[in-house]
Amino acid sequence: MARLILLLVFIILTKASFCQDSLVLYKEITFSSLFEKKSFDNHFIHQKTDLFDLLMANGGLLNEGRIASSKEGFYSHLDNMGFEKMTTRKNDRQVKFVYDNIHKKFLQKYEERNKYEEIFSNGFYNCVSASALYALAFDRLKIPYTIKEKPTHVYLIAYPGAENIMIETTTPVGGFYQISTPFKQNFVKTLKDQKLISAQEFNAYDVNVLFERYYFGKQEEINLLQLVGLHYLNDGLYKMDDGLAESALHQFEKAFLFYPSDRTGYLMMVAATDAFHAKKEKDNNHAILLAKLSRYQKYGVTPEMIKGEFGRVLLDLIPQADKRDQLNSYYQTLYSGISTDELRKEIDFLYHYEFGRQLYHQLRYKEALTHFEKAVQAKPKSTDALNAFMGCLGHTLSAQNNNKEAIGTLEKYGSIYPDLKVNNLYSIMLASAFLSQFGQEYELNRPGEGDKYKTAFEMIKDNNQDLPINHSLIGYAYSSAAVYFFRRGQTAKAKNIINKGLEYSPNNPELMIRLEMLR
């Protein structure tokens, strides 16, 4: 697909890239060289901006020594070209002197694909790189100027508001590719789907008009830092044309740091999508791309899409025992790269729920319980998570064979996770544990303790009369209490206990036999 070399954006530069809700996080930037990283760190971290270095950082032709000598040579030329003799001349003569001198010294051949460093390597330039060169020169010589952008061109105005002398570094048609019709249509459709373009506006104007309006925005005055952003944006487009989507994304992200815009965000989304689908290995790089895609909701990427892609990763890696560490690393990388708490919780839930299910099917209940509990923590009201947690907990408690400890564990979890108290599986397990302990206490001749657990059971059952309880367990518990009182000659009390049990388990065989024996 043909792409623009020159891209013009419209949002004022900020350092919002350090904010968590930004599309780009500085810590995730992939640098192509140590010099590039040093130049960025100096600007974004140490507030020691060197515009020449930032422009040279996007390259690889020159080593750091050559960059330093190029900078020294450039500024030395400006200081010694005799401009001080022109200061008494009219402004237009001053500008012409500088323009001709620089063009002759540094600019040899126009090339569509170009980086700023090439000016000092072979003399090749394009609209963006040459405009940057003249802007640096005007800064040095204290000639007032502005940088102007329009959809297919960037140029300088010297002495704005006075002579308004236009500095054309190349012809307006020389510095761009023609954008294809499908690209325009997809861009406009995306904005319409996201309601950034109203249906009324969409129907009133053709695609070309809307594309020009929203892709390029208003013609603006930009500064040199924003021009650095354009420099990186162009390079990202070169890489997209070459099929290097991930490398293009890295350049678009750098462009966004200097010159954020919806257009750059859209291009990042396109590049990230292409790079993500090109990756076959579900490694940390795959996770990083998925995390980045999660930030592009404005451009049509939904949380459901991210959850779906992560679900496919889980299906692929969970069954492979030798991939456990890889999966955990993937999850940690994805989780830390997502910026919204809501989506983080969804990813947390998916990971622990699916991992817990795998362990559960392998009868590894203790390990599974840990994951199911974390799934409950992520989504406390999820019926699937609560039921899985309780089912796994049931197996774990059965293995302990200590009913009192089971009651304590159940009550503890009910206190930690209040939604369990309205979960039928939890209520069944706790009620059954109370019943069992009720019967055991009477068998051990501890009626006071037995009545405590009897009351606890009846409270649960009375509050949820449809709760299914094991009828044999009801028969055992109430029969144990009845036998205790019968042996002590308290037949009436024994009958009352039996009748109470029959309220919860009508026609219970064991209770009916006990009742018949008491007559």
How do residues 411-434 score in pLDDT, each as one tens digit? 999 999 999 999 999 999 999 999
Q: Same domain, yes or no, for 214 and 76? A: yes
Report yes or no: 271 and 249 within 8 Å, Cβ to Cβ. Answer: yes
* Domain that residue 295 falls in: 279-401
Tell me what pLDDT residue 119 has. 97
Number of domains in the chain: 3
Q: How far apart are CA 202 and CA 185, in angstroms?
A: 11
Q: Which residues of the chain have pLDDT under 50?
A: 1-20, 171-178
Give the DSSP H/E element, type plus range, for residue 461: helix 447-463
Tokens of 84: 């001080």
Q: Is residue 148 part of a domain?
A: yes
Q: How far apart are CA 231 and CA 67, in angstroms?
A: 17
The pTM assigned to this predicted structure is 0.79
| First vs last C-alpha separation in the chain | 94
Q: Is residue 40 part of a domain?
A: yes
Q: Is residue 6 part of a domain?
A: no
Q: Same domain, yes or no, for 390 and 481? A: no
Tokens of 301: 């990427």
Nearest to 331 by CA among 287, 388, 289, 297: 287
Q: Same domain, yes or no, for 478 and 515? A: yes
Q: Same domain, yes or no, for 396 and 507? A: no
Q: Is residue 103 part of a domain?
A: yes
As a three-state string, the secondary structure of 223-257 is: CHHHHHHHHHHHHHHHHHHCCCHHHHHHHHHHHHH
Q: Same domain, yes or no, for 254 and 343? A: no
Q: Same domain, yes or no, for 356 and 422? A: no
Q: Same domain, yes or no, for 72 and 119? A: yes
* Residue type (1 letter), 35: F
Tell me what pLDDT residue 152 has. 66
Tell me what pLDDT residue 217 has. 61
Q: Quickly list DSSP for 116-146.
A: GGGGGTT-EE-HHHHHHHHHHHHHHHT--EE
Q: Is residue 7 part of a domain?
A: no
**3-state helix, strand and coil shares in percent for the chain, rounded to the nearest 5:** 70, 5, 30
Report yes or no: 55 and 43 within 8 Å, Cβ to Cβ. Answer: no
Residue 175 Cα to chain centre, angstroms: 35
What is residue 205's three-state secondary structure? coil
Single out the residue in 249, 274, 299 at which a domain terminates.
274
pLDDT digits (tens, 9 = 90+) for 302-346: 999 999 999 999 999 999 999 999 999 999 999 999 999 999 999
Q: Same domain, yes or no, for 260 and 329? A: no
Q: Same domain, yes or no, for 261 and 334? A: no
Q: How far apart are CA 132 and CA 155, in angstroms?
A: 9
Single out the residue in 374, 401, 428 at which a domain terminates.
401
Q: Same domain, yes or no, for 269 and 284? A: no
Report yes or no: 5 and 240 within 8 Å, Cβ to Cβ. Answer: no
Q: Is residue 91 part of a domain?
A: yes
Tell me what pLDDT residue 10 has. 29
Phi and psi dihedrals of 442, rounded to 5?
-70, -35
Q: Is residue 2 part of a domain?
A: no
What is residue 222's three-state secondary structure? strand
Q: Give me the CATH number covering residue 286.
A: 1.25.40
Q: How far apart are CA 257 and CA 273, in angstroms?
A: 20
Single out the residue in 250, 274, 298 at which a domain terminates.
274
Q: Is residue 370 part of a domain?
A: yes
Tell me what pLDDT residue 151 has. 66
Q: Same domain, yes or no, for 98 and 185? A: yes
Q: Same domain, yes or no, for 72 and 198? A: yes
Tell me what pLDDT residue 195 has. 83
